[in-house]
Structure 1
């Protein structure tokens, strides 16, 4: 029978973090993620995973310490719940969500929240799955992003007032943090593609909790603007940048 394990300051270096597993060479995204986690774990951040090699985990933290532009009292925020093959359809997703809900109830939290969208995004946890547990939409943006919450006492969180989904800059502008291990590679791809195609761009590294709480867009770990308008929370590659430039020009 498979069991679960939680990352701690003591086991962080030796344990894998599910998304990218390397047995020999060190991956720069993993190193950035673990450095980010080493600070977050001190503030109640939870990375709870199946004790197997593969992608089956949930990651959440007290909202007050979550690097997202969401405000609320006494909430937990789910960054990611991800179950990939060969662990799908075995009840692990349910167990991971129930672990988070149990902690919220046992420790007296007002509820749990997470980022969603009217149209499911590739880099967001499945909101239909969350709604099956009782999560409801409690806030929305003008372009279809949603804040989902599972309230235990009637209190609800909201997007920060800074979330307008607009900026003054017209060039491709990307906000990113080190929370996701895929970001390091994606940022390098974006730089290379934009430089080689003479596309103006602006990369903004989110390096503090205060900065994250006051971002102009919805955000888990990545947010892209073009022509002053918010485009997506999905991590970009060469094809998606090309499509954005063509569609928005």
Structure 2
């Protein structure tokens, strides 16, 4: 299988898999590449199939991962995605096994990932991970779970602030980072919808590791709150937002 890792040497000419065909996401691709360039010095890994397709895994040392998860000596998986015609060909297995081998080579304590009891868009599939020995080690509410593959018996956990799942404001509030290239366009769609429908919108940009570790809810790169309560990690467009508000 022909996989490559995106590095400082090839990032300008390589595509980012999940946003390779839609022009409306080109700003997001630019922002994501700028974000990645800064993360590479922190041992961040973006590995993909060397073809024009959505087949990749992205992970980083948990201590440097922009998520409200804490633990020692773990790798955190942001995203594992195999899409469309590439499904069923063993690519997901190969990518996950690569990350596991990498963790062992670095003498890590294990790997972890945020997922959900019920399959949720923009989170990795729990059922697939369980096949490789991942186990639930923490949870928030009835749906969101932290899975870990531990090599030494230690386990990571959600940060205490993530368990709040509430904020002080009733306004539609979105915490967002630039780790996902879909986010800038989602922000524009949400802004337009809220302007046209007279909805007060608060945007909280997560632009430091410290902010990411202290988001008051589940967060992989996006978290939506409304009427003080956490609602979803689902990226919003106008259609999904209308349904949520209604």
Scaled to the shorter chain, the TM-score interval is: over 0.9
Residue of structure 2 equivalent to 1:167: 167
Corresponding residue number in structure 2 for 1:73? 72
Partner of 1:156: 155
Q: Deviations over 1:25-74 (max 9, x none)?
A: 98101000000000011100000011111100000000011000000000
Shift of 1:144: 2.0
Over residues 119-147 of structure 1, what are the superposed CA-to-partner deviations in whole Å (9 max), with x where a residue is unaligned? 11111111110111011110111242110
Give distance in 2, aligned partners of 1:110 and 1:243: 42
Q: Is the 8 A contact 2:6 2:14 kept in 1?
A: yes
Matches within 5 A, 1:74-223: 74-163=73-162, 164-223=164-223
Q: C-alpha separation between the residues in 2 aligned to 1:98 and 1:55? A: 18
**How many residues of Structure 1 are paired with residues of Structure 2 in the alignment?**
245
Cα distance change of structure 1 residues 219 and 24 upon mapping to structure 2, 3 Å threshold: closer
Equivalent-residue separation in structure 2 for 1:112 and 1:26 (angstroms): 30
Residue ranges of structure 2 left out of the alignment (5+ in a row): none
CA distance in 1: counterparts of 2:209 and 2:89, whole angstroms? 36
1:186, CA displacement in angstroms? 0.4
Query: Once superposed, which parts of structure 1, at least 4 consecutive aligned residues long, lie more than 2 Å away?
Result: 22-26
Structure 1 residue matching 2:161: 3-state secondary structure: coil
Measured on the aligned residues, the alpha-carbon RMSD in Å equals 1.4
- Please name the residue that 1:6 is paired with: 5
Which digits, 9 at most, give the CA deviation of each residue in 1:160-204, with x for residues without a partner?
A: 111111111111100000000000100000000000000111011
Task: Report the secondary structure of 1:8's partner residue.
Answer: coil
Report deviation, 1:237: 1.4
Structure 2 residue matching 1:27: 3-state secondary structure: helix
Report the Cα distance in structure 2 between the residues aligned to 1:127 and 1:38, rounded to whole angstroms: 29
* Deviation (angstroms), 1:239: 2.0
TM-score between the two structures when normalised by the length of structure 2? 0.97
Q: Is the contact between residue 55 and residue 81 of structure 2 (CA under 8 Å) also seen in structure 1? A: yes
CA spacing shift, 1:23–1:174, aligned 2, 3 Å: closer
Alignment map for 1:37-56 (pairs within 5 Å)? 37-56=36-55
After superposition, the Cα gap between the structure-2 partners of 1:134 and 1:26, relative to the gap in structure 1 and judged at 3 Å, is closer
SS of the residue corresponding to residue 148 of structure 1 reads: strand
* SS of residue in 2 equivalent to 1:220: coil
Residues of 1 paired with 2:24 and 2:140: CA distance? 41
Q: Unaligned 5+ residue runs, structure 1?
A: none
